[in-house]
Chains A and B, each alone.
Chain A
Amino acid sequence: MRIKGRVWVYPDNVDTDVIIPARYLNTSDPKELAKHCMEDIDENFAEQVKEGDIIVAGYNFGSGSSREHAPIAIKASGVACVIAKSFSRIFYRNAFNIGLPILESDVSDELEKGDEIEVDTQKGEIVVLKNGKIFKSSVIPEFMQQLIESGGLFGYAKKLLNV
C-alpha cells in the first residue's frame, strides 16, 4: 500500500488518555470518538485533520490503556497511517486488529507539522517530500501478514471455528 499525505508530529509517550480521554468512553461509536481524537494533546486536531493525513511520533506511542477506542478514533478521523519510533504493545495489536496501518520508523525527527511524506508499506520505505530523504521502516511479521490475508482476526476466527 502507498500512502501520500501531510503529517501531524507528536513527541514520545503519546498515551491513550490523550488520544481519547476516558470522559468520552461511554460510547463505542467511531464518529463520536473521532470528534474528540487527540483532544488532550492537540485541541486543533479533530477540527483540522483531513482524510489521508498521517500521524508521526516518537517512542512508545499509544502507551497506557487497552482501550481500542484510541485507534478507532484515529482511524475514524481519516488518518491513513501512524508512524512512530515504537508503539506500546497493546496499541500495536489494536491498530493492527482494526486495520489502521502502523509502522515503526525514526522519520519524526525529520518532520514538522504539515510536511508531506510518501509511505510504501510493502517496501517499508518512507520518503520525505521536502528533501527527498528516505527512511526505512519495520516490516510486518509473517504471522501478522497471514492474519491480514485471512481477513484479520475476524476472518481468522471464522476459519478456526469453521463458520
Chain B
Amino acid sequence: MAGMTISQKILAKKSNRDFLKAGEIVLADVDLAFANDITAPIAIDFVKRLGVDVFDKNKVALIPDHFTPNKDINSANQCKIMRDFVREKDLPLYWETGEVGIEHALLPEQGYIKPGMLVVGADSHTCTHGALGAFATGMGSTDVGFAFATGKSWFRVPESIKFIYKGKRNKWVYGKDLILYTIGKIGVAGALYKSMEFTGDAIKELSMEDRLTMCNMAVEAGAKNGIIEPDDITIEYLKERDIDRSEYEILKSDDDAEYSDIIEIDVSNIEPQVAFPHLPSNTKGISEIKEDIKIDQAFIGSCTNGRISDLREAAKVLKGNKVAKYVRLIIIPATVEVYKQALKEGLFDIFLEAGAVISTPTCGPCLGGYMGILADGEVCISTSNRNFVGRMGSKKAYVYLSSPAVAAASAVAGKIIHPDEVIK
C-alpha cells in the first residue's frame, strides 16, 4: 500500500480512517469554520432554518472584513445579520470594527490555526491557512452553514502536486514572486481540484508570512488547498502566539506518497514577477517588460500581502521618496496588530511623507468593494491575488499583480518598475 500525502493524512484522521486514497469521498469533522460579511448571511440563514445551535461555539468564527467599516446601508444590514446572530448564540469568535482584520491574516496571527487542523471558510482564500500545515479550503455559504450546524463537511480526497523549490532567492524576490511564477507556469486551472504541496529547501528558508502568501494564491491555480509541512519556523510562529507543541500534531507526507505530478523549480532563476491583466497566470519577469506601463494607482494590502513584513518591504522602497504626480498609493494593513506595529515602527511616517493614504483594515479595494475603485481605462498595480476583468472597479480598468516592493517602486516611478531602479 502506498503512503499518504499530508493532505490525505489530515482528511483520514478527521474522518476516522486509517487510509484514504485520492478520489474517495468522506464526511469529516472540521476544527474551524468561518465566514465573512458577504458570505455569512446565507450560512446563518441555513442554521436558522434548521433551528439548531452551532456545533461548537469555539469553532465558529464570523469576521466582518469585506465591506467594513460599512460602505453603505445594504452592507450595514448584512453585518447586522452577523452581529445579531453572534449575540443570540453568544459566539466568542467575532471581531467588531476596530478589532477586525482581514480573515486570512487575522486567524493565523491570533493563533486560531494550528498544524493538522481541518479548516473550512466561506471565502476562496481560506487555502492561505495551509501555510501552517493545516488542511484548509474555501467553500460557499451553504457548505459552511452545514459545517456551522453539524461540525462536518464532505470532501473528495484530492490528488496532490508536489512542488520542489530549490536554490537561493534573488534580492527583491518573495513568496509572492514564487507563487506568481508557479501559476504562470501551470496556468489558472493547472491544479484544478488538486492539492498544491510546497516543499524544498527554498520553502524551508521562507518566513511564515511569505508561506501564507504562497498558500493564499493556490486557489488562483484552481487548487483545493495549498499546504506546507510544519517545521521549526512553524513551531516558532506558534510559540510566539503562546501555542505549545503539545497542542497540535505535526503530520508529514510519506516518502512513498503518490503525486499526480512533481514539479521542480529553481528559485535562483526567478526575478520579481508581474501578472498582467486579466489573469494571475499572465506573469512576466520584470526585466521582460520592455514597454512603459504607466499606472494611476498602486495598492499595497489584502490577505495576500497586507502583513507587517509586506509593509516593511514597501517602507524600504518608499523611504525618502515621493509618490509620482497623479498616482494614488493606497496602503491597508491587514489587521489591527499589523496597523499598531507599523505605527510603532514609524512606517506610517514614511508612507505619509511619500504621499500614501493609509486605511483601517478592510478587504475593500481588492475585490472592487470600496476604498480604491478604478475608473474606465485606469491602471493599478496591486499586491492582491486577482486581476480579473472588473475586479477592482471598472471592467475597462487594468490590474497588474506584484509584490509590495514592486508596487511601492512603481508608485514612486509612476510606471511598473524594478525596486532597484528606485533604490540605487
A interface list, Cβ under 8 A from B: 13, 15, 17-18, 21-23, 25-28, 40-41, 59-60, 63-69, 86, 88-90, 93-94, 97-98, 141, 143, 147, 153-154, 156-158, 160-161, 163
Contact = CB atoms under 8 A, between A and B. Distances in A.
Given A26-B78, A90-B124, A161 B150 contact: yes
Contacts of A63: 188-189, 222
Contact of A59 (B126, B189, B368): B189
B389 A17 contact: yes
Interface residues of B, number: 54
B140 A26 contact: no
8 contacts: A63-B189, A64-B386, A65-B123, A86-B189, A88-B192, A143-B25, A153-B46, A154-B46
A141 B75 contact: no
A116 B149 CA distance: 42
Contacts of B189: 13, 59-60, 63, 86, 88
Contacts of B49: 154
Given A86-B192, A89-B222, A40 B369 contact: no
B391 interface: yes
Interface of B: 25, 38-39, 41-42, 45-46, 49-52, 66-67, 71-72, 74-75, 78, 121-124, 126, 138-143, 145-146, 149-150, 152, 154, 156, 188-189, 192-193, 219, 222, 224, 279, 367-369, 386, 388-391, 393, 395
A86 B386 CA distance: 20
A93 B143 contact: yes
B16 to A, nearest CB: 15
Identify the interface centre among A69, A90, A98: most chain B CB within 10 Å of its CB: A90
Nearest to A22: B367
A26 B74 contact: yes
Given A26-B74, A88-B192, A161-B149, A143 B50 contact: no
